Amino acid sequence: MFNKNFLIENIKTLFFALIIAVIIRSLFIQPFYIPSSSMEPNLLVGDRIFVTKYSYGFSKHSFPFSPPIFEGRFFSHEPKKGDVVVFKTPADNRTDYIKRLIGMPGDKIQFIDSNLYVNNSEILKSIISKNENIYCGNNILDVFKFEESLPNGKKYNTVYLKNFSYQNSDTFIVPENHYFFLGDNRDCSKDSRFLSSVGYVHRDNLVGKAQFIFFSSDKTIGSIFSFWKWGKSLRFNRFFKKIN
């Protein structure tokens, strides 16, 4: 016999579970998948990360589908230089990008002879490896690996092509309420240097701060459903690794 009360109770349970999931995803923490190599060597294609939504406060982009329910941010907190941030691209206010914050409002950013300058001061980098291989799409690049140090003490690894193909740039002056982002894979990243596609990112477009990798698999070896390949495809050394 059809049990109407049983059906109603199950619908209620699913409804409340959905509401709780949306609240957690919108206000606290959200998983993201890394689809590109623009943040190598720190984030690899196949990394799955957790991003805290409360780190910089909340905007309409904190919620699924970015509903236009309010303007601006509330409980806002200023990000710090060197943070790895997920944001909505200004081009469509829909696509999620993840990059490293380099420039704050009012900062002047420029590449001179392949060296990064912020407010006329060179960002120091010390070489870690002269023979490193990283991906750029399906291509494997031979690069130099450096440790860069920002003025606030934040240190992280970056890679540059050995011929330093990105030599000089225009001067980027970050507008008020905007930020300037770069990929750690400097010669394989569409970021704030490309004003027509990414450019300066408005504070309202910030989604959250990348905190740690909770799972990682190498899709070039096999999908996560190919359990017989897990020994080779799963990157166990990256599980629960903090993002620097």
Which residue is catalytic, options 60, 88, 99, 125? 99
What's the start-to-end Cα distance of the chain, in Å?
Answer: 58
Q: Concatenated DSSP letters for 195-221?
A: TTTT-SEEGGGEEEEEEEEEEEB-TTT
**Active-site residue, 38 included:** yes
Which residue is catalytic, options 36, 37, 38, 192? 38
Q: Concatenated DSSP letters for 129-166?
A: EEEEEEEETTEEEEEEEEEEE-TTS-EEEEEEETT---
In this structure, is the dihedral angle defined by the CA atoms of residues 225, 229, 233 and 234, taken in order, positive or negative? positive
Sheet hosting strand 139-149, strand order edge to edge: 124-136, 139-149, 155-161
Q: Concatenated DSSP letters for 64-102?
A: TT---S--S-BS-----TT-EEEEE-TTTS--EEEEEEE
* Token output for 153: 């003490």
Dihedrals φ, ψ of 18, to 5°? -65, -45
**Active-site residue, 99 included:** yes
Quote the CA–CA distance of 19 and 64 in Å, as a whole number.
Answer: 12
Identity of residue 73:
R
- The residues carrying an active-site annotation are 38, 99
